[in-house]
Amino acid sequence: QYFSLGFIGLGAMGKPMVTNLVLAVEPGAQVYVHDIATSVVEDLVGAHSGTIVGCASAKEVAEKADIVLTMLPEGAHVKSVYLDPQSGIAAALSGSSSKLLIDSSTIDTASSLHVKAELGKIAPEVLFYDAPVSGGVLGAEKGTVAFFVGCSSSDPKFPLLKELLRAMGSKVIPCGGPSLGLAAKLSNNYLSGIITIACSEAMDMGMRAGIDAEVLASVFAAGTAQNTICDVFNPVPGVCPNAPPSKGYQGGFRVQLMRKDIGLAVDMARRVGSRNVLGATGLGVYAAASEASDCKNLDSRVVYRYLGGKED
């Protein structure tokens, strides 16, 4: 059904996402991709020759594709990829363009709204949606991520968005309107980041009091403290054998990304007037762990190590 799709930003998340997208396109259809890292473009073109076509710029992707997805690191990258007058998506648009553009990056809501407004000035028919994801690299590989979409369930394009995003994820949740997918994602990551710190502290205190780590995790799972971080991504090495903490904190969700997301969430809380007592502490912990030589570039659950958690 999708004959001209584009995907820009082929990093830890984008590469597996576009790989799943390719499985959903009809034979003969093409997916136009771009990344400033040319080697990843070459890899994908080599692995899916005939279906994936490399492009030299975001502009070229938007010239060739009617539906374009982006998966970029931060707001500045998203602004540049969409709005750069020479090489950006905007450079491929004219007043009569009618494309569907979907940004799945986790960025600040203001940048997303800015991009939407600027695109609207150039091409009023162009539709731009925020649709950030949750579920990590493993979820992107398995096609089980959840998308939080910045539109209402009655948006006329929601059925198409849902069908398209279901090629890469298992849940697609409409969050109400423009930038609210991002507001949902930042609220989610704020909660998950803070729970990780609380789980680290609670595990450490129980273990130092003499309780076995796995017994303690099973207590939390049976009690009122039950949560996914403790059950599936327990920050204590060895408790969840397949999770990053049991693999030297390799893989997973980098501590720097959690620092970015908690920072964005704290800014959003301030902007909307929400009282936020744990944010400053959380941000401080993730910022310091992002710089610590034994934690940086590792999975965000490495805050357990940063906080001096007991490791055997």
Q: Is 112 in the site for ligand NAD (CB under 6 A)?
A: no
User: Which position among 15, 59, 116, 185 bears the catalytic label?
Assistant: 185
Per-residue binding letters, 219-258, with ligand NAD (x by CB under 6 A) = ----------------------------------x---x-
Burial class, 208, CB count within 10 angstroms (exposed 0-12 / middle 13-18 / buried 19+): exposed
User: Residues binding ligand NAD: what is the number (CB under 6 A)?
Assistant: 25
| Residue 81, CA atoms < 13 Å, CB-side half-sphere | 30
Question: Contact at 8 Å (CB) between 129 and 151?
Answer: yes
Give least dist CB 224 to ligand NAD, A.
28
Question: Contact at 8 Å (CB) between 157 and 100?
Answer: yes
Indicate which single residue of 2, 5, 6, 14 sits in contact with ligand NAD (rule: CB under 6 A): 14
Give least dist CB 130 to ligand NAD, A.
11
Give least dist CB 115 to ligand NAD, A.
13
Nearer Cβ to ligand NAD (89/230):
89
CA distance linking residue 36 with residue 8, whole number of Å:
9
Q: Is 133 in the site for ligand NAD (CB under 6 A)?
A: yes
Q: Is 77 in the site for ligand NAD (CB under 6 A)?
A: yes
Residues 82-111 that bind ligand NAD (CB under 6 A): 105-106
Q: Phi/psi of residue 287, each to 5°?
A: -65, -45
Give least dist CB 84 to ligand NAD, A.
8
Does residue 185 carry a catalytic annotation?
A: yes
Which residues on neighbouring strands pair with residue 7, listed in sequence order?
33, 69
Nearer Cβ to ligand NAD (77/162):
77
Reading across the β-sheet that carries 127-130, which strands appear in turn? 52-54, 30-34, 4-8, 67-70, 100-103, 127-130
For the chain, the distance separating the N- and C-terminal CA atoms, rounded to the nearest angstrom, is: 53
Nearer Cβ to ligand NAD (40/295):
40
Within 10 A of 97 (CB to CB), how many other CB atoms are there?
Answer: 17
CA distance linking residue 29 with residue 37, whole number of Å:
24
Scanning 70-78, 91-99, 203-211, 280-288 for contacts with ligand NAD by CB under 6 A, the matching segment is 70-78
Q: Which residues of this protein are in contact with ligand NAD, per CB under 6 A?
A: 8-14, 34-37, 40, 71-73, 77, 80-81, 105-106, 133, 136-137, 253, 257
* Residues designated catalytic: 185
